[in-house]
Chain A
Amino acid sequence: MNEYMIIGQYVPGNSFVHRIDPRTKITIIFFFVIFVFFANSVGSYGILTAFALITTFITRIPLKFILKGLTPVWFLIIFTFSLHLIVTKDGTVLFNLFGWEIYSGGVIQGVAISLRFFLLILFTSLLTLTTTPIEITDAIEDMLAPLNKIKFPVHELALMMSISLRFIPTLMQETEKISKAQSSRGVDFRTGPLKERIKAVVPLLVPLFVSAFKRAEELAMAMEARGYRGGEGRTKLRLLKIQSIDIWVYLLFTCVIIGLFLLRTY
């Protein structure tokens, strides 16, 4: 159960990356995800890889946390690499593997796509490794604020996200507890015919829904009793502020992107 209790993958710290404003991190990651597709040469991949690895290094997050986050994707990376190795038939034949001719184009494409994927996963995971989900919520609320003008309920949605984050561990515990309680009464979730297993989910979902909506009702009532009236005029406990390090990060990232385009032919 304990491993479920770690929400997301946030690793507390006070590194340079931890201190960057979450809005800056989201913006940089957004553009990184787009620009990584422009890499097409050793030089351009090189500069992005160096940037991603150096950023990872300065987070001072133990390597085991980062590798743990990447565990589910190794299989995918190897699968994709093998797929391109077998399917792509460009360039010269390099060697013969169990009857399959391996072309140089296949190796190049396999390496390029796997590396691109690795970079995407590594860089985007830095957001959740160095930013708490609440900070991410605040950042999203702030970035979507202009949508308020077209009556989009930005504040309500951000509050919804915060409440959701607060209740995830509670409901996880509850799910675990109910499934154990039902198992002790003889409900079998894992074996038996499909029809029986489908039936077994119902006694799990019914108490879960009942208790979740009971909580919702109590919380809504408590909020209203304390005077919650929606977003207008509400002040915040945590205020986001763009600092000089954010400006430096934007400048550095712009340089990396300029470098990427200059190195596209090398």
Chain B
Amino acid sequence: MKTKTLVANALVAALYIAVSAVIQPFGFTNVQFRVSEIFNHLVVFNKKFFFGIIFGVFLTNLMFSPMKAYDIIFGVAHSAISLGIIILLAKYIKNYLVLMTANTLVFTFNMFIIAFELKLALGMPFLFTWLTTAAGELVVLAVGIPIMLALNKQVRLDRLI
């Protein structure tokens, strides 16, 4: 791994946590409105952002989530699987808008992993929890699309690392 890639990913993870904590300090449990989830779109522009996002999720859950162990295991699994799917799709699709829409749908669908976590830990009804968590994720990621496109225009995310 190149030193710059390593350091840049570390800073993406730190940004993920900083934005989670400063912009909106609630986004755990069954209604997930975590603003920094829009960072998941970074992988669309450059697959090298994968580790930064995963670490962001890992450290946020380690330090701020009350459900620690569960949120770490299931949160990281959710992000890793979803990002993996998008990296695969990115080999065939080059349009950012299409990819980000796919990313939004994949992350939203995969919220069943989080719903399963909450069912396991709290015995919450699976379908209801899937719906509520997925709705939150859908909103944040859909809102994230224009934001990331605007950001990309200014900072060219694909060329940063």
Write the residues of chain A forming the contact surface with B, with a CB cutoff of 8 angstroms: 4, 7-9, 29-30, 33, 69-70, 72-73, 76, 80, 83-84, 87, 109, 113, 117, 120-121, 124-125, 127-128, 133, 136, 153, 156-157, 159-168, 170-172, 174-176, 179, 189, 194, 198, 201-202, 205-206, 208-210, 212-213, 215-217, 219-220, 223-224, 228, 230
Chain B 30-70, CB-CB to A under 8 Å as 1, else 0, gives 10000100000000000000011001001100111011111
CB distance from A117 to the nearest CB of B (A): 6
Residues of B close to A170: CB separation below 8 A? 14
- Chain A binder among B75-83, B85-93, B106-114, B117-125: B117-125
Q: Is the CB of B123 within 8 A of A198?
A: no
CB distance from A73 to the nearest CB of B (A): 5
Q: Is the CB of B18 within 8 A of A172?
A: yes
Q: How far is the CA of A168 from the CA of B19 in the complex (A)?
A: 10
Residues of A close to B58: CB separation below 8 A? 161
B29 within 8 A of A: yes
Instruction: Using known A-B contacts A113-B123, A156-B1, A167-B11, determine if residue A72 contacts B62 with beta carbons closer than 8 Å.
Output: no
Q: Is the CB of A171 within 8 A of B14?
A: yes
Q: Which of B21, B51, B123 is the one whose CB lies under 8 Å from A80? A: B123
Residues of B close to A198: CB separation below 8 A? 143, 146-147
Instruction: Using known A-B contacts A80-B123, A128-B68, A133-B63, determine if residue A164 contacts B13 with beta carbons closer than 8 Å.
Output: yes
B160 within 8 A of A: yes
